[in-house]
Structure 1
Amino acid sequence: MEGESPQPLTIGLLGPVRARRGGTPLPLGPVRRQAVLAAMALRPGTTVSHEDLLARVWGTEPPGSGHRVLATYVYALRKALDPRGTGLDDSVIRSSQGR
Structure 2
Amino acid sequence: MNFLRGVMGGQQSSGVQPSGAETIQKLCDRVASSTLLDDRRDAVRALKSLSKKYRLEVGTQAMDHLLNVLQTDRADSEIIGYALDTLYNVLSNDAEEAGKS
What TM-score, normalized by structure 2, do the two folds share?
Answer: 0.26
| Structure with more strand by fraction | 1
Higher relative contact order (CA 8 A, sep 6+): 2
What TM-score, normalized by structure 1, do the two folds share?
Answer: 0.26
| Structure with more helix by fraction | 2
Q: Choose 1 or 2 for highest CA Rg.
A: 2
